[in-house]
């Protein structure tokens, strides 16, 4: 467990590679390595869990996986039942991937120079939020049609037309803010955990640094990492449910 006591450098910037075509052609190679490692572990873990499943003598890992998937499926069926065919795999995969990426901080990856957990890069979390955002609006258009999708931004629909027009700007802001808050919540919590390790290493005497850092890192990675993966997954399901707001009332007349 030597990596728990490692004094980390402040995770403020990410080392980049410039491909020579401006800002949009720079790559944070530490995030690429971390995310590639997390994806590989996620795929291998998912395959191993699937292959180990049996109806005769299910083990604890299978029971936990079935419980988690059942929760995602039941939540999706309650909020957006007609979208469960793609929302359930999306939310379950994102949640599991974020959990794996967060828990990789238990491994000594931070001993590698300039390498930090993938979700401490806002580009990573914003990319996942962008995928949810794009699929969310595609679903809304498929659900309502393009004219109904535009009318969705004039809610609440029970108000007069002139009053609904006032809410258009606010509804547009709300939709834009969703992926921003989704990504920044995950990014901010994980980055704060790394910064706490750095601050503890600076402020506390060397004799008590090791146990304090160990306790904090176990709490931060084990508990906060799990909570953040759950919140991202749950909000993905909630947003698809919100996309159906007013749909039944509109089509009941």
Write out pLDDT tens, residues 212-241.
Answer: 888 888 888 889 999 999 999 999 999 998
pLDDT of residue 113: 66
Q: How confident is the model at residue 8 (pLDDT cuts 50, 70, 90)?
A: very low
69-91 burial: b if 16+ Cβ within 10 Å, else e: eeebbebbeebbeebbeebbebb
pLDDT of residue 90: 93
Q: What is the pTM of this model?
A: 0.85
Place of tokens 């919590």: 189
In terms of phi and psi (left: phi > 0; alpha: psi -120 to 50; beta: otherwise), the region of 115 is beta
pLDDT of residue 1: 37
Ranges of H-type helices in 53-121? 60-79, 84-103
pLDDT of residue 2: 39
As a whole number, mean pLDDT of residues 64-80 equals 90
Report helix, strand or coil for 27: strand
Q: Could you give phi then psi for residue 154, rounded to 5 degrees?
A: -105, 10
Q: How confident is the model at residue 4 (pLDDT cuts 50, 70, 90)?
A: very low
Residue 42's CB is within 10 A of a number of other CB atoms, namely 18
DSSP for 139-195, written as a single string: HHHHHHHHHHHHHHTT--TTS-HHHHHHHHHHHHHHHHHHHHHHHHHHHHHHHHHHH
pLDDT of residue 58: 77
């Amino acid at each position: 467990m030597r990596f728990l006591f490692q004094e980390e450098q402040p995770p403020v910037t990410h080392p980049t590679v410039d491909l020579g075509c401006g800002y949009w052609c720079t790559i944070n190679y530490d995030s690429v390595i971390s995310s590639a490692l997390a994806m590989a572990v996620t795929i291998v873990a998912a395959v191993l869990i699937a292959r180990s499943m049996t109806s005769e003598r299910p083990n604890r890992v299978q029971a936990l996986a079935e419980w988690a998937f059942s929760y995602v499926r039941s939540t999706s069926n309650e909020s957006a039942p007609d979208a469960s065919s793609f929302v359930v795999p999306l939310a379950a995969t994102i949640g599991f991937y974020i959990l794996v990426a967060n828990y990789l901080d238990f491994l000594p990856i931070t001993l590698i120079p300039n390498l930090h957990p993938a979700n401490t890069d806002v580009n990573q979390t914003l990319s996942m939020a962008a995928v949810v955002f794009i699929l969310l609006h595609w679903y809304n258009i498929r659900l309502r049609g393009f004219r109904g999708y535009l009318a969705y931004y004039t809610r609440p629909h029970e108000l007069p037309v002139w009053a609904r027009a006032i809410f258009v700007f606010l509804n547009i802001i709300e939709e834009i803010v969703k992926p921003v808050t989704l990504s920044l919540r995950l990014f901010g919590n994980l980055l704060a955990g790394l910064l706490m390790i750095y601050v503890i290493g600076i402020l506390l005497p060397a004799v008590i640094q090791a146990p304090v850092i160990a306790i904090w890192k176990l709490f931060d990675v084990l508990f906060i990492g799990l909570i953040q993966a759950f919140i991202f997954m749950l909000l993905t399901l909630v947003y698809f449910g919100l996309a159906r707001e007013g749909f039944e009332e509109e089509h009941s007349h």
